Amino acid sequence: MTTGKLDVSTLLSDDVMWTLLGTLYLRAYESRSPHSILRDHYAAEALERIEYDEPALARRLRPKTNQFLVALRGKQLDTWTTAFLDRHPDATVLQVGCGLDSRALRLQKPKNVRWYDLDLPDVIAIRRRLFEERDGHWMIAASVTDDDWLRAIPNDRPTLIIAEGLFPYLQTDDVRKLLQRLSDHFGTGELLFDSLAQWMTRFIKVFVFSFRDGHEIESGNNRLRLQETSPFSTFWPLIHSPGIRRLYQVGHKFKAWRNLMVSYRFTF
Ligand SMILES: C[S@@+](CC[C@H](N)C(=O)[O-])C[C@H]1O[C@@H](n2cnc3c(N)ncnc32)[C@H](O)[C@@H]1O
């Protein structure tokens, strides 16, 4: 029997690509709360159009608590993005490993901003079915590690580069080369990304890249300057549910917890 919904089984068979459905699901789940932090109703609408096994995903992702992992990380990146676009309303934004994220829509990107969302061809094929490519908002189907796509992106404006939930899946050398290519190509701007605790890359096969702290990134690339470091639980006061807020509040006092997932803001 066919439901007429979008078949995403190609994504589910891949260890890395299925994660974009996971983050979409968690953002959609979170958006249904009247106290939603991200208010990402675009995620909820996109998820509605996809064929997936809800109980299986819920068992795997435990959305009641884990919705806040993506919501709080997203909130930090949204806040930095909004601040950058307030300062540069004609900026270029490049979001790599965008998955089915709807940041440009939920932040209502300023009219003059050029926004590029890049992900692997199989992902972009699905993304194109769910989100419209409009004036000033384009999708690029490529591996971020490929050489040629970057040449097509103009480098005449301040540029914001966002990589949410991407770097842990890349090889260390690929991240290093990518950062070099980006900082060689663009004149000035900011780079936002998140990273996982180093122990996770030792114990969880799918995670590869990690580093000790942001200064390690600076020492490997002479154009990047670390400006801010933000543990995933920074925005814990925004959690409405008292029990879960308390969990994140207490956890936030401990370095080992804060370091589980950290977002970084660099300038170049
Ligand atoms: C955890 S998901 C995050 C998706 C999105 N940023 C979000 O927060 O919902 C990781 C994303 O990285 C993408 N990805 C992994 N390797 C990639 C590569 N070499 N080039 C481009 N995208 C890649 C995957 O396809 C997936 O969409």
Task: Name the H helices within the chain.
Answer: 9-12, 18-31, 41-48, 54-61, 63-87, 103-106, 121-130, 172-185, 198-203, 214-220, 242-251, 255-258
Distance 11 CA to ligand 1 centre (A): 11
Give the three-state DSSP class for 116.
Answer: strand
62 token code pair: 């435990």
162 within ligand 1 shell (Cβ under 6 A)? no
According to DSSP, residue 134 is labeled: B
Q: Which fold has domain 70-267?
A: Rossmann fold (3.40.50)
Say what percent of the chain tops pLDDT 70.
Answer: 99
What's the whole-number mean pLDDT along residues 194-210?
Answer: 95
Mean pLDDT score of the chain = 95
What confidence tens digit (pLDDT) does each residue in 124-139 have? 999 999 999 988 999 9
252 token code pair: 């936030």
Distance 118 CA to ligand 1 centre (A): 9
The residue among 7 and 140 whose pLDDT is bigger is: 140
CA within 13 Å, CB half, 194: 27
165 within ligand 1 shell (Cβ under 6 A)? yes
What's the whole-number mean pLDDT along residues 102-122?
Answer: 97
Residue 128, amino acid: R
Annotate 182-247 with DSSP letters as a single string.
Answer: HHHH-SSEEEEEEEE-HHHHHH-TT-----S-HHHHHHH-TT-EEEEEEETTTTGGG--SHHHHHH
- The closest residue, in CA terms, to atom 18 on ligand 1 is 143
What's the whole-number mean pLDDT along residues 14-32?
Answer: 94
Q: What is the pLDDT of residue 4?
A: 80
